[in-house]
Amino acid sequence: MTNLKTLHFYATPEHDCSYLEGFEAKTLFVDPQEIITTDAYSQLSDLGFRRSGKHIYRPYCANCQACISVRVDIGNFAASKSQKRIINKNRDLKVVTVPAQFTDEYYDLYAKYINTRHSDGDMFPPTPDQFSAFLIDGGQKGCFFEFRDPDNKLVALAVTDFLNQGLSAIYTFFDPDETQRSLGTFAILWQIKETKRQDLDYLYLGYWIRECQKMAYKVAYHPLEMLLHGQWIPVD
C-alpha cells in the first residue's frame, strides 16, 4: 500500500471562497505528477480529500472549518418515505455503467444543466474542454452511470470513482426539465444501492457546509458520518 508520507502536497495562495461570500479559502493539492494508486486514493478519501479531474484536494483554510467531508453508512442506511417515493417514481429508468468519456450527448446534457442550474457558479460558462478536465481526466478507477428513460433518452449522468471501502460520488448532472423525477436525489439513492450491491461500506458525498443552501441535500441520507477533527463521527 502506498505510503502517504512519500507524496508531495502543494497549498494554493488564499483566494475568494466559492461557497461563503466574504471568506478567503486555501486548498491543499496532491502533486498532480504523482501516480496515485487506488489504495492511496482510498486513504486520501478517508482523510477528507476529493477529486476534480486530475486534481486531488481538500480545503486547507487556517481560520475556517466550514467544509466538512460526509459519507453515507451503507450498512445502516434506511430510505425515508419521501426517498422511497422518488425511487418508485424512477423505476422506469435504466442505468448503464460506461467508461468515463466525452460524447456530444453527455456534453449537451451537462451544458444544459450548468446553464440552467449553475449560471452563477465557477463552472459557468461550460465548455467541452472544461467538461473533460473536470469529469474525465485524472486516471482514477471510475465510471459514468447513465440514467435513461423508456425512450432511451439520457436524463442524468453520475460520475463515480471506485475506492477500496466504497464509492465516491464525484458529480451528477441531469435534465433540468425533468423536475418531477427529483433526479439528483434518485442518482444518490441509486449509488447507495450500487455501493451495497458491491458489498462496500460507504458512499462519499464530498463536502457539506452548513451555511451553503446548495449543499443542504447531503444531510438527507441517514445515517451520515462527518469527518470532524480527523475522526469519522456518526451524526443525526
| Average of per-residue pLDDT across 116-132 | 90
- Indicate if 149 and 85 belong to the same structural domain: yes
- Indicate if 87 and 63 belong to the same structural domain: no
Q: How far out from the chain centre does Cα 122 lie? A: 16
- Indicate if 152 and 63 belong to the same structural domain: no
Q: Which three cell numbers stand for residue 82?
A: 419521501
- Comparing CA positions, the residue from 29, 66, 67 lying closest to residue 51 is 29
> Does residue 130 lie within any of the structural domains?
yes
> Does residue 222 lie within any of the structural domains?
no
- Indicate if 171 and 115 belong to the same structural domain: yes
Please report, for the domain that includes residue 88, its CATH number: 3.40.630.30
On whether the CB atoms of residues 188 and 207 are closer than 8 A, the answer is: no
Total domain count for the chain?
Answer: 2
The whole-number pLDDT of residue 126 equals: 96
| Average of per-residue pLDDT across 222-230 | 96
- Indicate if 87 and 194 belong to the same structural domain: yes
- Comparing CA positions, the residue from 45, 18, 7 lying closest to residue 141 is 45
Look at residues 67, 91, 107 and tell me which one is the last residue of a structural domain.
67
Inter-CA distances, 150 with 99, 104, 147, 194, Å: 22, 20, 10, 21
pLDDT for 167 beyond 60: yes
> Does residue 233 lie within any of the structural domains?
no
- The one-letter code for the residue type at 58 is R
154/189 Cα distance (integer angstroms): 18
Most confident of the following: 20-34, 112-126, 186-200: 186-200
Domain residues for the domain of 155 are 79-203
- Indicate if 130 and 58 belong to the same structural domain: no
- Indicate if 155 and 117 belong to the same structural domain: yes
Report the percent of the chain where pLDDT is more than 70: 99
pLDDT category of residue 2 using cuts at 50, 70 and 90 = low
Report the percent of the chain where pLDDT is more than 90: 86
Look at residues 67, 97, 121 and tell me which one is the last residue of a structural domain.
67
> Does residue 214 lie within any of the structural domains?
no
The whole-number pLDDT of residue 98 equals: 97
> Does residue 220 lie within any of the structural domains?
no
- Indicate if 114 and 187 belong to the same structural domain: yes
The whole-number pLDDT of residue 121 equals: 75
Residue-wise pLDDT tens digits, 70-109: 999 999 999 999 999 999 999 999 999 999 999 999 999 9
> Does residue 137 lie within any of the structural domains?
yes
- Indicate if 63 and 178 belong to the same structural domain: no
pLDDT category of residue 148 using cuts at 50, 70 and 90 = very high
DSSP letter, residue 121:
S
Range in 9-13, 26-30, 31-35, 182-186 with the lowest mean pLDDT: 31-35
102/134 Cα distance (integer angstroms): 11
> Does residue 228 lie within any of the structural domains?
no
The whole-number pLDDT of residue 214 equals: 84
Helix and strand totals (H; E) in the chain: 5, 14
pLDDT category of residue 48 using cuts at 50, 70 and 90 = very high
Mean of the per-residue pLDDT values of the chain: 94
| Average of per-residue pLDDT across 183-191 | 98
On whether the CB atoms of residues 205 and 221 are closer than 8 A, the answer is: yes
pLDDT for 195 beyond 70: yes
The whole-number pLDDT of residue 115 equals: 96
The whole-number pLDDT of residue 63 equals: 86
pLDDT for 147 beyond 80: yes
The whole-number pLDDT of residue 120 equals: 78
- Indicate if 111 and 134 belong to the same structural domain: yes
